[in-house]
Structure 1
């Protein structure tokens, strides 16, 4: 299976940074980034993945603190290119704001510098704040433009292929450095793209960087089916994921692509420890650390989320809850009146914490409210239990792999690589050593032919 790690410096759980020993200082991101990359590479993971967010504001402190201040993804993979040797490095770029030629130069350069380990995650659209940061009308900044993204990916591949692989003849005796017939203009012109080229960087080691795209909308699926090598999707059940993957890959066949493409990867947030009880204790602590509307000064902040009050929980469970203390146990007589949504929330808390209504370790209002406020799809348990979850999704054909989101760094990421990865290796589901050198090698993707060469060959055949 494919295993990638998503780097989120302050953790993928909004309360993760508060956990004892967790990384919590963005000023020290470089140190934790190096440590995470080396840990991931030692575990033979396929890649490190860097998401993107192009704005900030105090509201993110509660909703997603990792987005408050984060290092640029392209800069991050450039930084790691010289600090790692084998692991893939995937950066996210928003095509709504990217300069095409600059992006082609940056990505081709990093692929060269990393000896073929770079990948590109393409996202579209942004919130109004991001649009304003780029001199755009904020009212137009939230609509994803898939046509623009499609044109940019096609133009990137043309630019990356400006130089044929053997264009540099470097014949010192004759004085001929290049074969000029193997240097191609791009001349990509569309509604959203206008670039001539050629690119002043040699062809990437991988030919084309692997393209990643996330989303489940019909238009997002179309873009992934046509152009992506990896499709990132989050679906709630194995059955839905199996259906999505089959339909997406069937759609890709209609574009003339090989069977089994694009590969499908889903996010997973593992909370893992040596025993089930220890893992549940970690998750319990994460729930305890979620700031809730308890009358404290923090809860009076104008940016405090509205969904963290008992009143909001009452709406979710379909029962007026009154004004209980957050740490009071939820009575059985109350839970029996819960709506279907309330019962699902109750079941989720019970599964992840091991707590039971009116049990020795009772479910409290805090557990329910924190789980509602932060609906992270965590998988909580021992190495065997987390591996069982990944094994089930993979062997049932729901996905080709997983993007691992650690709730906090570095202990939880090290628990995953130190406990779950060896269990997957023992089952024969994951490599014990890198076999290839490039990200394409890791993902089982062939190196593509130069599009200019293919086009010239087809023109010659038709002449």
Structure 2
């Protein structure tokens, strides 16, 4: 069978555009409306998306500018995806959980439970937290430094995946006649003692349908790439051009052999912000409708958050992006990307804030289904992507536009499935089921 691309539906309450909640077609209360998310999940599943993806933050943005964004009230992702597992059948369910402000046993238990609830469709987006405000909700006055976060994340991953192997696949027999509930020789204590964690185990959840939930990562810094090469099975990344995406793809795939991994064991799925219209002019008109709703101060506040939690309010809106120190609390890769974008296009602070108001630095496409499919095909066939994490400006309309327009175009070209290959996220992504390390 010819290689086909993978698609994730990156859901963000009212949509990815920072001003989407103000649009008349968008339900402003969407962040806490389960019926809204159920509708989105069923749109994506009918279109045969590989997975839903829910990001997360453990701090609410506050203040005068934050009060003008729809970013402060939303469901906890695992709770939401557990509910969505009941109203869907095939689509994957990927949630973010930070290694900085969680404990491995909690994370292992929750994602294993979601895998059982969904029949093998869960995925863990392992992040190190790029929001310094989270620290103050967990007994710290300062965020953990960038390098320290990645050392903790590597050990965190070791513990979680070790706990997922606590039980062999056939450990639980539940034999009423003999009185044997499980084979004692098929349970394994982890007994992990490391720099950050001491965890005995075993996990109190049986080995899950996928063996282990799919591991997803989004870091693109040097430390992030190396951790991904060692541990990730799917990588989400922000790339602004074909050349940059090809370089990232080649670099990350090239690191896999150091860890005894094949190129197919890791799927690279850049984010793509998409606005679809029946004509190009209609698509651009849609996009401009959202852009006109962006207040300059809101765009700059979002920019400061994306650059690494910098307060840019003291700088003139019509002036250039100031020189900023390398962030220790945010995403270093995103800081580099946005700084380069500002210089390349000679953008003022307000212009840069407005430019990232929709895609937040991701590759952006505004056009007809055929035009958008052309670019996705180019990236897929020219060594830049194995698939895409799709961001739309508003929900549900933007997802409906993509599902009804772009997906059929990709299917006509033989680039995307018309039916799911299997029932688990691993089967649909083409990822092997891992064996139990203790068996």
TM-score range, shorter chain: 0.7 to 0.9
Deviations 1:211-263 (A, max 9, x none): 01112111111100000001111122212211221121121111111233321
Confirm or deny that 1:47 pairs with 2:51: yes
Pair 1:14-2:18 in alignment: yes
Partner residue in 2 for 1:370: 354
What SS does the aligned partner of 1:164 have? coil
Q: Relative contact order, CA 8 A, sep 6+: which one is greater?
A: 2
CA deviation vs aligned residue, 1:122-170 (integer Å, no higher than 9, x gap) = 0103433211111123254776611111111111111111111111223
CA distance in 2, matches of 1:369, 1:73: 27
| Distance of aligned partners of 1:308 and 1:391 in 2 relative to their CA distance in 1, 3 Å threshold | farther
Give the match for residue 237 of structure 1: 241
Q: Secondary structure of the residue that 1:266 maps to in structure 2?
A: strand
Aligned residue runs from structure 1 range 441-460, under 5 A: 441-453=427-439
Q: Deviations over 1:361-384 (max 9, x none)?
A: xxxxx9898337766542101111
Write the mapping of 1:285-304 to structure 2, written as runs, cut at 5 A: 285-292=289-296
Structure 1 contact 125–141 (Cα < 8 Å) conserved: no
Partner of 1:433: 419
Contact 1:229-1:262 at 8 Å conserved across structures: yes
Write the mapping of 1:192-341 to structure 2, written as runs, cut at 5 A. 192-292=196-296, 312-315=317-320
Deviation of the 1:27 alpha carbon? 6.0
Query: Which of 395, 416, 427 lines up with 1:409 in the alignment?
Result: 395
Bigger Cα displacement from structure 2, 111-120 vs 161-170: 161-170
Cα distance in 1 for partners of 2:263, 2:343 equals 42
The alignment status of 1:37 with 2:41, answered yes or no, reads yes
What SS is found at the alignment partner of 2:272? strand
Unaligned residue ranges in structure 2 (runs of 5+): 299-310, 322-340
Larger radius of gyration: 1
Change (3 A) 1:190 1:405: same
Task: Provide structure 1 residue ranges, at least 5 long, that are not aligned to the other structure.
Answer: 295-304, 317-339, 347-365, 454-463
CA distance in 2, matches of 1:445, 1:62: 40
Range with bigger deviation, 366-375 or 31-40: 366-375
Question: Following the alignment from structure 1 to structure 2, what is the Cα–Cα distance between the partners of residues 17 and 252?
Answer: 41
Q: Return closer, same or farther for 1:255/1:249 CA change in 2, 3 Å cut-off.
A: same
Assess if the C-alpha contact under 8 Å between 1:157 and 1:451 holds in 2.
Answer: no
CA contact (8 A) 2:342 2:352 kept: no
In structure 2, the partner of 1:337 is none
- Describe the shift of the 1:308–1:384 C-alpha distance in structure 2 as closer, same or farther (beyond 3 A): farther
Q: Does 2:3 match 1:5?
A: no
CA contact (8 A) 2:32 2:74 kept: no
TM-score (norm: length of structure 1): 0.81
Q: 2:375 aligns with which of 377, 386, 389?
A: 389
When the two structures are aligned, how many residues end up with a matched partner? Answer: 404
Distance 1:200 1:10, change over 3 A: same
Deviating more after overlay: 134-143 vs 39-48: 134-143
RMSD: 2.9
Q: Distance in 1 between matches of 2:46 and 2:265?
A: 28
Q: In 1, are the aligned partners of 2:51 and 2:92 still within 8 Å (CA)?
A: yes
Contact in 1 for aligned 2:126/2:217 (Cα 8 Å)? yes
Aligned partners of 2:401, 2:259: CA distance in 1, in Å?
A: 41
